[in-house]
Structure 1
């Protein structure tokens, strides 16, 4: 929850309001305020993006631990309808997904994981859909790979 006071994250207007004990579920709210309204009064798309940008990466870093390197690689964002209300997002990894990630990274040394994410009204209306591509490798492999480039 201390993440909410980070100046970098506060500017997005996003607020983390729930984190499960095992960090597998994180929920955020993006309130519509004067700080993130655009010219026509809907939520600025950049606010939707920036509020969701760091969560999966940081979530995976904490779940996987220091033996792994995790980077956000890319995001594809699709705006489906204007946001004239508060928006909500749930970031979730199942125990099976984490086990599969570890298994694949141990086998291939590096992988890309694509997670789809919906920004909604918290019920049945989806405002925006994102595909987040996250790079994951072992720390040893990543260090070796960087040394070859330098």
Structure 2
């Protein structure tokens, strides 16, 4: 999977041509050079509209699904396990035409995650992305909860660095 993170262009094209996205008209339109911002659009097609002529809710959920987890995987690095834990979606208005989701991460968020996981603890962070129509009206609000933790090998390294033994880190001792 690491090949998709080689460059923003590779990431954009790989995700845009991913069959479930390509088939539903979902396109990654922008990826920042530092992977802290990803913009995704979905155009109305025969495959993603419902009987009411608006975007199918499953397609709206799909267009918001992997991006925070993928961005965090890239930004936190190979020492972290990043898993999509939950999605909550609220449909606010009928989504017609081209809709856009803009995913963004900043240093404050990344530093908080690193701090919360620095002792090997797991951490859940919730992000909100709004999907807007062509006029900029919010049509859908999506909350993504992402699970993050240092991988086992990184926790073991941390443990050994703590005091040169196999003793548990202080934050873990208190839970036993």
Task: Give the aligned partner of residue 39 of structure 1.
Answer: 51
Paired residue for 1:61, among 49, 60, 73?
Answer: 73
Paired residue for 2:28, among 4, 7, 16?
Answer: 16
State the Cα deviation string for residues 77-129 of structure 1 (Å, max 9, x = none).
00001112210010000022111111111145210000011000255300000
TM-align CA RMSD: 1.9
List alignment gaps of at least 5 residues for structure 1. Answer: 145-150
Distance, in Å, in 2 between the alignment partners of 1:55 and 1:107 is 26
TM-score by length of 1: 0.88
State the Cα deviation string for residues 43-67 of structure 1 (Å, max 9, x = none).
1000000111011111110111110
Instruction: Give matches, 1:63-78, under 5 Å.
Output: 63-78=75-90
Moved over 6 A (4+): 141-144
Distance, in Å, in 1 between the alignment partners of 2:146 and 2:25 is 23
Rg larger in structure: 2
Task: Give the aligned partner of residue 63 of structure 2.
Answer: 51
CA-CA distance at 1:141 after TM superposition: 7.5
Report the count of equivalent residues. Answer: 144
List alignment gaps of at least 5 residues for structure 2. Answer: 1-11, 157-176
SS of the equivalent of 1:85 reads: coil
